[in-house]
Amino acid sequence: MLPKKSMAMVQTAPRKLEARDLPIPQIADDSAILRIEACGICGSDYEQYEGVLQTPMPVIPGHEPLGIIEAIGDKAARRWGVDVGDRVAIETMLSCHCCDTCVGGHYHLCDRRQIYSYIPLTESPGLWGAYSQYMYLAPNTILHKMDKNLPAELAVMFNPLGAGFRWAVEIPQTQVGDTVLIFGPGQRGLASVVAAREAGAGKIIVTGLAADSNKLQMALALGADHIIDVQNENVVDRVRALTNGKGADVIVEVTSYATQPVREALDCVRMGGTVVLAGVKGFKPVSDFVSDLIVMKEITIKGAIGVTSSGYKKAIEMIERRKYPLELMHTHNFELEEAELAIKTLARQIEGQESVHSCLIPAT
């Protein structure tokens, strides 16, 4: 039986989270209640915590939920093909699924889309984000069943790994034998390594800072062929040397706030190659951006925001096969009440701690 209340971490102001007991709503025939097993933490959690995203408050953050269906309406059970007791991975975007954009296959770009962790408590029923013991699932949710035998901290990697498949494989249409250059060895960069390797990339190169040495070693363990310390090596020269002067077929730029890699990507990509930009820069301009290089090399540049069902499905299938040592990426479990510590650890604000992939594990 469901409890009457769920403990949740509520953001009430920038850099302020507080624990609250919130009522668990009654469900309708087309909705459900999820018991959160794990909620992944990524860079956008830090941006929301800092107030950069200017989300409404008070709000329950948490946009990477994995959990068990605890209550579900009959209509929802039929539509989603799940029932009480099933483990599911939740897509964070809520789209209308009926506008031209959604029907055209781009539901993640729906003008009316919402993100679970940005919906304020004032919008009924209130229990939206995944920094919580329980979470409401709206009728327009997209979810995916997952193997219950997997450790929760491994299964919840469906989100960053889904991004890897979409950003490093689907969007650039990576082919067998391609050389893939990944700027940034964070969790999305490492996920891109795994996805590119799974797609049959011929050569995978990953860049990072000197402080990223552990992450760069993880990249090699997960399937990268070469790593580049950008503070001690010239990226462009090294990429040219590794590709016999040709350049990379595909470049995935996933660094946080650094603009120099965007400029360097134009020099590192081959003639007719593709650059995928997925790392946000806080709306900072890119200096020395030479658009003529795009013209003369016929470079394709694509933006990437979010993950869609095909990426999630590929990620889940790969996780369930246990083909790659994904546990190397997971560095921290935090209790729900430690959400602030989890965010600060990811942001390298806790001395002596380096987080790659981490998650909150609520007690229920």
Any idea what the CATH number is for the domain that residue 182 is in? 3.40.50.720
Pair 84, 140 in one domain: yes
Q: Return the ∠ at Cα 288 (arms to 287 and 290), rounded to 5°.
A: 130
Q: Look at residues 124, 119, 135, 118 and name the one whose alpha carbon lies nearest to residue 7.
A: 135
Phi, psi of 124 (to 5 degrees): -60, 140
Residues 297 and 169 in one domain: yes
- Does position 364 have pLDDT exceeding 80, yes or no? no
Both 13 and 133 in one domain: the answer is: yes
Instruction: Return the pLDDT at 130.
Output: 98
Average pLDDT over residues 56-78: 97
Average pLDDT over residues 268-273: 98
Quote the CA–CA distance of 252 and 247 in Å, as a whole number.
13
Q: What is the mean pLDDT of the chain?
A: 96
User: What percentage of the chain reaches a pLDDT higher than 90?
Assistant: 94
Residue 312 lies in a domain: no
Mean pLDDT of 98-124: 95
> What pLDDT is stored for residue 309 in this prediction?
95
- 349 domain-assigned: yes
> Which whole number is the average pLDDT over 47-52?
92
Mean pLDDT of 105-116: 94
Distances (CA, A) of 257 to 279, 284, 315: 7, 8, 26
Say yes or no: 289 and 198 in one domain.
Answer: yes
Please check whether residue 90 lies inside any domain of the structure: yes
Residue 103: predicted pLDDT: 94
Residue 205 inside a domain? The answer is: yes
pLDDT of 54 reads 87
Query: What Å distances lie between residue 272 and 195, 202, 295, 340, CA to CA?
Result: 22, 18, 10, 44
- The answer to whether residue 224 sits within a structural domain is yes
Give the integer Cα–Cα distance in Å for 156 and 79. 23
The pLDDT assigned to 131 comes to 98
Report d(CA 107, CA 312) in Å as an integer.
14
Residues 11 and 131 reside in one and the same domain: yes
pLDDT band at residue 290 using 50, 70 and 90 as cut-offs: very high
Q: Judge if 205 and 141 occupy the same domain.
A: no
What contacts 286, CB < 8 A, 6 or more positions away?
259, 262, 263
Asked if the peptide bond before residue 58 counts as cis, ω within 30 degrees of 0, the response is yes
Please compute the mean of the pLDDT values over residues 76-92 and round it to a whole number.
97
Average pLDDT over residues 332-357: 94
Q: Is the pLDDT of residue 48 over 90?
A: yes
Print the domain residue range for 220: 163-303
* Residue 39 sits in the same domain as residue 103: yes
Q: What is the pLDDT of residue 36?
A: 98
75 and 116 both lie in a single domain: yes
Same domain for 220 and 185? Answer: yes
- The residue type of 280 is V
Give yes or no: residues 245 and 345 share one domain. no
Q: Which domain-ending residue is among 303, 319, 340? A: 303
- Cβ neighbours of residue 94 under 8 Å, at least 6 residues apart? 113, 114, 115, 116, 138, 140, 141
Residues 230 and 355 in one domain: no
Q: Are 129 and 253 members of one domain?
A: no
C-alpha 330/C-alpha 159 separation (Å) is 13
Is 310 a member of any domain? no
Q: In whole angstroms, how far apart are CA 347 and each of 57, 117, 309? A: 22, 19, 28
pLDDT at position 52: 86
Q: Which alpha helices (H) appear in 275-359, and where do they start and end?
A: 291-297, 309-321, 339-346
Supply the CATH number for residue 62's domain: 3.90.180.10
CA angle, 113 as apex, 136 and 12 as ends, to 5°? Answer: 60
Alpha carbon separation from 43 to 39, 137, 280, 318, 321 (Å, rounded): 13, 24, 10, 23, 27
Identify the pLDDT of residue 256. 87
207, exposed or middle or buried, with CB in 10 Å at 0-12, 13-18, 19+? Answer: buried
Residue 303, H or E segment = strand 300-303
- For residue 121, tell me if it sits in a domain: yes
Query: Could you tell me the pTM of the whole model?
Result: 0.94
pLDDT at 53: 86
CA separation, residue 64 to residues 11, 158, 161, 242, 363 (Å): 17, 8, 12, 36, 17
Confidence bin at 39 (pLDDT 50/70/90): very high
Q: Residue range 58-68: average pLDDT?
A: 97
Work out how many domains the chain is built from and give that number. 2
Mean pLDDT to the nearest integer, 110-120: 95
pLDDT digits (tens, 9 = 90+) for 136-184: 999 999 999 999 999 999 999 999 999 999 999 999 999 999 999 999 9
Q: Is residue 156 part of a domain?
A: no
Share of the chain above pLDDT 70, in %: 100
- Quote the radius of gyration of the chain (alpha carbons, Å): 20
Say what the pLDDT of residue 40 is.
97
Q: Identify the pLDDT of residue 26.
A: 94
Q: Which two tokens stand for residue 363?
A: 């007690």
